[in-house]
Structure 1
Amino acid sequence: MPPNRFRTGRLTSSAVDPVIADLGFAAFAERNRPRYTLYAGARLSTGAHSSAAVEATLASAREGWQRLMSGPCPAAEVWGQLRLQVERQGERVAAQNPVLAELYQRLPHASADSVVLCRLLGLPVAEAAELMGVEPSAVEAALTAARRALPQLGDTEAPLRHL
C-alpha cells in the first residue's frame, strides 16, 4: 500500500513532482522569454548581450525553480535576476543607450523598469506588472513617481528621447 500523501487535506511532502516542475518552468520560460528579450534589448546595445542576459537569467531560474516556486513571488525574483544580468552585461558594453543609462541613474529601478516596459516598449500596465511580479498599482505608482521626477516623461509623443 502506498504511503498516505495527505494529512488533513494537505500534502505531507513539500517536494513538487519533477515532471510537473519541468513543465511549469517550460511554460514560464516560453511565456516570458520574448518579453525578457525585448527588455534586455532595450537596455543593451547588442543582441548578443541581451540574449546572454536572458539566457543566464533563465538558466538561474531553472536551476532554482523548486525554491522559486516555494517563495512568495517567483516572477519578482526572476525579474530581479534579469535586471542584475542586464546590468552585468551592460558593464561589458561600451555603447549603452545614454538616455536609458541616465534614466536608471536618476530613478529607482522599479520606476525606470516601469518606464522602459510601458513607455518605451508599449506594454500595458497589467502586463508589465505581471512580468515584474508586482501589482499593477505598483507600476502605476512607479510611473507617477517617474513623471514627477522627470516631467518631460509626460510627453507621450516623444517618450524617452531626452531627459
Structure 2
Amino acid sequence: MAFASLLLAGCTAPAERIELGPEETVKAAQQLLTDRCLTRQGLTPPRPGAATPTPAEARRIADALFGTGRAELALTLPSGHVVRQHTDGCLAAAQQRLYGDQRRWFRASTTVGNLRSATPEAERAVYQRLKARALDESRSLLAHVTSTASRKSTHP
C-alpha cells in the first residue's frame, strides 16, 4: 500500500513526518486547496477549537466553501431522494483540481455512496478511476508543499 508523507513544521519544534493513507492523503489535499481558496477571499478557514465566527462571518465562509444560489448539480436516487451540489465554491474548485471532472465525480461518488453494491459496474469503474486520479494529484500537491516547507525550514 502506498502512502503519502506530509511534513509538519512548527515554529518551535523540529519537522515531523506523518504517513497518510490514500483517503487521508486526498482529504489533506482537499483541505489545503479549500483553505487556500478561503484565505484568498480574506476568510479564515474553520478549525476545531478556534474562535467561533460571528453568524455573518460563518455565512460568508459557508457560501465561499459550498457555493451559493441554485445548486447546479443534481442526481435523483432510485429512492426519489435528490442529491444536489454547487459548482462555484471552494470545495467544488478543489474537487475539480483533484478529480479532473467535478461533475463526473459528483455523479460517481453519489451513486457509489448511496447505492453501494447496487452501483452499475460502469459507474463503479469511473469512481475508481477518478479516485486514483485524485490520489495522484493529492500526492503531487502535498509533495510540493512538503518540499517547499522543508526548504523554508532549512533556509531561514
| TM beyond 0.5 | no
The structure whose RCO (Cα within 8 Å, separation 6+) is larger is 2
Give the structure with the higher percent helix: 1
TM-score, length-scaled by structure 2: 0.29
Task: Give the structure with the higher percent strand.
Answer: 2
Instruction: Output the TM-score relative to the length of structure 1.
Output: 0.28
Q: Which has the larger radius of gyration?
A: 1
